Chains A and B, each alone.
Chain A
């Protein structure tokens, strides 16, 4: 289909450049959201394991609600609520309303959703560390931060990586949902290109290939990371 390839060329009559820009936006969203989710997850996991009863119950409510409600609904709610709350706070503080960039709002939304899942993954991984290792760190007189950095985090990594890898795949695919709130990431850009040129199949297939490339490249990198994290451990199955 030569006409189809012309449509995908990178220079303006073709839409290839627009698609790549969309892919770049999607990747930014996924990486930002994933890292934010990871930060929430580390905090949430430690809160769930070592926090007081109130903190533990609140975190339980957070993870349960986020995991029970469809991402699409959460994204709509958080997208509107997040921008609204910030503008209300700005109004209270006497500043004019700001226009929050879609990227920041999107990263916030994906991060909050991912955070619930990361919390569960990391909590499981920390619980899987043989307790003797943490006790040994304490016996050596390590402080909590040092023990966390030297023992708990590296020791839990092999247990956490399969779950975290899965979450990264989910993050890349969840970015597509932001098309519904009008953020110009790959899926929405594809829809616009397809609508403008009526070459629906060409563009949707091209976008599918782009997503697939991201997924396959990720799985190669993840395999390398996993091998590095599992070094010195007995082989599994």
Chain B
């Protein structure tokens, strides 16, 4: 390796990574100093007062995340399937759904549902007197729907690839064993496709977590909304936002670790 003599050095694989390399210790000391300075010089006296509300906000964010992700994933399975094998009109519908949802900003979809659809709903007296109205008047059903659609569209695209990527021979073998189409789907096609889609699930869930604060713009209370309230009450700019960034960092880290743990428990032959 004649690094620096001429040309680019070739890619050198990093050495066994250890947290205790000397430069890392220095970096960690620097970061610790920055954090201590932030704690010392910035204002954190609002924290005890808003602590319980923050916890509630984190809980709401997690509820929003897992409910929309799980229902969106269930929706993604048929969306992916009809694009691979379904009748033409259904396949086109699914395609258009994915293109539209993935081609426009989530914030716009959210406002379209909440302000647009909400204002149309309000024009129908039948709806206003129905049992659904107490729910339709609130903001969270719209936030839930928008987030769920978004997850379904992105994961639907993944599922389409996963269904299409299951080797044909396995499906033919299922038919040769005399399985009906549905049995073959239930026993072979779906499990194999899910298995192929699993590695993307962690990334998509993290993306979904990062999309949840948008619902605060339509007055749903999540951790972002609580922090906005803190900023309004205390006129502080940075402290609440830094805390919020830290909260999301921790949530992402926990999510990634949990998915890694789960993936480790699912046996794969390829790897």
Contact = CB atoms under 8 A, between A and B. Distances in A.
A50 B9 contact: yes
B90 interface: no
A134 B27 CA distance: 33
B245 A69 contact: yes
Contacts of B9: 50
Nearest to A201: B116
Nearest to B203: A67
B112 A211 contact: no
Interface in A153-192: 169, 173-177, 179-180, 187, 190-191
Given A73-B244, A81-B238, A176 B249 contact: no
Nearest to B112: A204
Contact of B8 (A147, A174, A176, A205): A147
A73 B241 contact: yes
Interface string B192-213: 0000000000000010011111
Interface string B4-19: 0011111100100000
A188 to B, nearest CB: 10
B249 A69 contact: yes
Contacts of B102: 169, 215
A211 B11 contact: no
Contacts of B11: 49-50, 126-127, 131
Interface size class of A (residues with CB under 8 A): 35 or more
Contact of A215 (B103, B109, B210, B244): B103
B164 to A, nearest CB: 11
Residue in B8, B10, B106, B241 whose Cβ sees the most chain A Cβ within 10 Å: B8
Contact of A70 (B21, B23, B213): B213
Contact of B6 (A84, A138, A190): A138
Nearest to B21: A53
Contacts of A53: 21, 23
9 contacts: A57-B24, A131-B10, A134-B7, A144-B6, A177-B107, A200-B116, A205-B112, A212-B103, A215-B102
The 4 A-B pairs at the shortest CB distance, nearest first, are namely A176-B105, A138-B7, A215-B103, A204-B112
Given A72-B210, A80-B241, 14 more contacts: A49-B11, A57-B27, A58-B27, A68-B252, A69-B248, A72-B224, A77-B238, A135-B10, A141-B6, A169-B102, A175-B105, A177-B105, A201-B119, A205-B116
